[in-house]
């Protein structure tokens, strides 16, 4: 797979999906301004390669929350993968594991936790969490995650209310009784946050007090996802979080937010050495990955590209996407004079012309 093949992968995935499933995957909120700006912001940065460095051995491995991974490119959480492939999240997890990449399972998964955990191999898995009012049920879920070998809880905090997508309103996902949120209370049919029945409703409210409770109760470290401000990153750490993910939810819920590329340096500066910082949002090229690492991210998460691979090739398709990115990262690191990820430092990038 080369860059041209990678660009064509989205169209190939669209051809295999229902119109509603593709619209849900591809869409952004409202006018989709941030959806366009997320990738553009990474591409606007310019690399400042180093020369005359020993690049005979390139090491793309790193650690995330203490676990060694072969690549700093992880799979971001997203729900209802059976809309994209019959095996759903089982195939996504298996494909990520084959590439030595970490996979984050969503609360809105269409496959049970235990089945996904069985695909892990030697690669760690995280679980993306929405909080529910029933604390006893929530506590049982946390213990279930620990029992099944998950390594961290990714607490998503930027979707208290579902956003709105005119694109999805015109081409909705048809509810399917065979595709359910099987890890949620009552295993409801897998409606999306853009479903008309949820418009304007508070879906997953949470406060800093909830984060404090979760950090105390969880047997796993808590990483907060959806942070775009340095001051709030610090508040999350003070409340017990062990890491933060700079994210605007793939530009899916509130439009015209700051891009994750622009927000990352402020969060990294605020957090310092207190915790690890990760980032997602619009990362499509390995040069984007290298720039994110240079700006202080420990690792990055990719969402839509992994689903393109899932839709076109199941587990093997996911592996192909991640292997393409890892192999190209090896080449980019060599050309930038960066043999290890630790050597991707802020002086490697500069602002380009927009």
Active site amino acids: 249
User: Which of 129, 132, 179, 117 lies closest to 156, judged by CA?
Assistant: 129
* Residue 124 to residue 279: CA distance in whole angstroms: 18
* Residue 31 to residue 305: CA distance in whole angstroms: 22
The helix (run of H) or strand (run of E) holding residue 314 is helix 304-335
Strand partners, 225: 156, 245
The helix (run of H) or strand (run of E) holding residue 244 is strand 243-246
User: Which of 25, 27, 23, 24 lies closest to 36, judged by CA?
Assistant: 27
* Angle of CA points 71, 313, 117, to nearest 5°: 55
Write the DSSP assignment of 258-282 as a string of letters.
PPHHHHHHHHHHHHTTSSEEEEESS
Residue pair 75/102 in contact (Cβ under 8 Å)? The answer is yes
- Determine what percent of the chain falls in helix, strand and coil, rounding each to the nearest 5: 45, 15, 40
* Angle of CA points 206, 252, 324, to nearest 5°: 115
């Amino acid at each position: 797979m080369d860059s041209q093949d990678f660009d064509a992968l989205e169209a190939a995935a669209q051809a295999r999906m229902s119109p509603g499933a593709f619209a849900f995957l591809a869409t952004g909120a409202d006018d989709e301004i941030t959806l366009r700006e997320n990738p553009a912001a990474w591409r606007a940065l310019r690399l400042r390669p180093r020369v005359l460095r020993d690049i005979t051995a390139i090491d793309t491995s790193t650690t995330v929350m203490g676990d060694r991974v072969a690549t700093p490119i992880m799979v971001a959480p997203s729900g209802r993968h059976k809309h994209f492939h019959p095996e759903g999240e089982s195939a996504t997890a298996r494909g990520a594991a084959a590439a030595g990449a970490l996979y984050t399972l969503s609360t809105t998964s269409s496959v049970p936790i235990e089945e996904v955990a069985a695909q892990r191999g030697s690669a760690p898995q995280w679980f993306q969490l929405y909080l529910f009012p029933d604390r006893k049920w929530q506590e049982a879920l946390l213990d279930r995650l620990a029992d099944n070998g998950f390594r961290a809880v990714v607490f998503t905090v930027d979707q208290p209310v579902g956003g709105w997508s005119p694109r999805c309103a015109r081409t909705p996902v048809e509810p399917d009784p065979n595709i359910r949120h099987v890890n949620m209370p009552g295993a409801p049919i897998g409606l999306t946050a853009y479903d008309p029945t949820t418009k304007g409703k508070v879906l997953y409210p949470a406060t800093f007090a909830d984060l404090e409770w979760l950090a105390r109760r969880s047997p796993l470290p808590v990483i907060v996802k959806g942070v775009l401000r340095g001051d709030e990153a610090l508040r999350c750490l003070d409340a017990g979080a062990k890491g933060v993910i700079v994210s605007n939810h793939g530009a899916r819920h509130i439009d015209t937010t700051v891009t994750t590329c622009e927000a990352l340096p402020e969060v990294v500066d605020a957090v310092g050495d207190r915790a690890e910082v990760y980032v997602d949002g619009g990362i499509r090229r390995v040069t984007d990955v290298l720039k994110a690492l240079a700006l202080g991210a420990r690792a990055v998460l990719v969402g839509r590209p992994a689903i393109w691979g899932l839709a076109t090739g199941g587990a093997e398709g996911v592996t192909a996407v991640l292997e393409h990115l890892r192999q190209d990262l090896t080449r980019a690191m060599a050309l930038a004079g960066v043999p290890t990820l630790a050597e991707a430092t802020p002086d490697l990038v500069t602002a380009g012309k927009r």
